[in-house]
Amino acid sequence: MTFDQVLQYIFSGITVGSIYAFVAIGYNIIYNTTGIINFAQGEFVMLGGMIAYTFSGFMALLPSVIIAVLLTAAVGGVIENVFIRRMRRTSVLGMIVITVGLSILIREFSLYIWDEQIRALPFFTGSEISSVEIIGARISPQVLWVLAVTAVLTVALYIFLKFTLTGQAMRACSENPKAALLCGIRTDRMISLSFMVSAGIGALGGCVVSPLTQTHYAMGSDLAVKGFTVAILGGLGNPLSAVAAGLLLGLIESFSISVLPMAYKDVISILILLIILVAKPSGLFGSRAAAALKDY
C-alpha cells in the first residue's frame, strides 16, 4: 500500500465514519432523555436524503436541505407525540418492538413514495469528477463538506448542551428526570425536543453524504446497527465521544475493504459490535462503574 492509497482510505473512512457518527449522536440524544434506543434512527438519515432530493428538483440545494432537516425533525416530533408518549409504562421489550415497527413503517412508506431507485443529491460544489488535492491524495470536495458539517455540528452540539438553558435542561433530564421535573423543567417537552433534534441531525447527515454514498429506501437498518456500534464504542449517553468512535469505525471498515471482499465490510463492523457489547459494554471511553448503574 502506497502512502497515497493510505490517505485515500483514510479519507473514505472518515466520510463513512461521519455518517455513523450522525446516527450515533441521534441515538445518544434520545437515549439520554428517555432511556430508549430508537431503532428507527437510521430511517431519519434516509428520509433526510430522500426529502432533500425531491425538493432539490425545483429549488436550490441549500433551502431543500433545510426543508429536509425541518420535515424530518417534524417526523421525529410526531413519532414521539403519537407513539412514544403513550408508551411510557411499557417494558423495554415493548419499546424495542414499537420502534422496530415504526422503522419498518417509515421504510415501506418511503418505498411507496420514492420507489426502489437509488437516489443521490447533486454535489454541493463541483461534480462527481472534480477533486481537490491534499498531500498527494485526490479527494472529492464533498468529503470536505462532510468533514466541515461534522465538525460544526459537534461544536454546536457541545455549546448547546453545555451553555444554553435548553441544553442544560436536557442534560438535567438525562441525569434525573424526577429531579428535573421538580426544578420546573417540562420533561415531556424535552423528550419531544430530543426526538426532533436527533431526527434533524440524522437528516442533515443523510443530506451531506447523499452525493457520495447515495440514498436508498432500505439503507436504514444497516445504519441503525452500525450507528449503534458507534454509540456503544463511544459509550452510550455521550454524544461527543460518538464522533470519535464513528471516525474510528469508518477507518476500520475502510481499511478492511483493502484486505477482505467488499461484501464483508458490514460483517467486520457487526463483529466489532458483538465483541464490544460482550467485552466492554461501557465503551472505549466510558467507565465500567458508571455503566453498571445504568438500566438498559
Partner 1 sequence: MLKNRMKQYTPVAILAAAILLIQLITLISGTGYLLTQLTMSAWYVLAAVGLCMVMGYAGQISMGQAGFFAIGGYTTAVLSTIDFTDRLSGGLPRLLDSMHMLITRETIYGDTMTYLTPWASLIAAILIAAAAALIVGIPVLKLKGHYLAMATMGFGIIINRVVLGTKAFGEADGITNVPPFKVLPFFEVSGDFNIRIGNYYFAWLIVIIAMVLLINLINSRSGRALKALHGSEEAADAMGVNTARTKVIIFMIGAVFAAAAGFFMTHYNGGIGPSESSVVKSVRYVSIVAVGGMANIWGTLMMGMVLNFLSLRGVFGHFDDAVFGIILVLIMMFMPDGFIRKAVFYDIRNFVNRKIIKRGDK
Name the residue nearer to partner 1 (CB basis): 184 or 261: 261
Cell of 204: 442533515
Per the CB < 8 A criterion, the answer to whether 191 and 33 are in contact is yes
Smallest separation, CB 128 to partner 1 (Å) = 26
Stretch that binds partner 1, among 17-25, 50-58, 116-124, 261-269 (CB under 8 A): 261-269
Per CB under 8 A, which of residues 96..135 are in contact with partner 1?
Answer: 96-98, 100-105, 107-109, 111-112
Question: For cell 467488499, what's the residue?
Answer: 262
Contact assessment for residue 272 and residue 229, using Cβ atoms and an 8 Å cutoff: yes
Q: x/- contact string, 178-217, with partner 1 (CB under 8 A)? A: ----------------------------------------
Determine the number of helices (DSSP H) and then strands (DSSP E) in the chain.
12, 2
Residues 6+ apart with CB under 8 A from 86: none
CA distances from 5 to 11, 134, 255 (A): 10, 12, 10
CB of 275 to partner 1, least distance (A): 9
- Is residue 244 within 8 A of residue 18, CB to CB? The reply is no
- Strand 132-134 and strand 137-139: the pairing is antiparallel
Torsion of CA 284, 199, 182, 86, to 10 degrees: -110
Contact status, residue 96 vs residue 37, Cβ threshold 8 Å: yes
Q: How far is the CB of 181 from partner 1 (least distance, A)?
A: 24
Give 70 or 268: the residue with its C-beta nearer to partner 1.
268
Of 262, 289, 292, 293, the one binding partner 1 (CB under 8 A) is 262
Given the rule CB under 8 A, which of 82-90, 143-151, 152-160, 200-208 is the region that contacts partner 1? 82-90
Interface with partner 1 includes 16 (CB under 8 A)? Answer: no
Residues 217-246: x where in contact with partner 1 by CB under 8 A, - otherwise, as a string: ----xx--x--x---x--------------
- State the CB neighbour count (10 A cutoff) for residue 287: 10
Site residues (CB under 8 A) for partner 1? 37, 39, 83, 86-87, 90, 92-94, 96-98, 100-105, 107-109, 111-112, 221-222, 225, 228, 232, 261-264, 266-267, 270-271, 273-274, 277-278, 281, 296
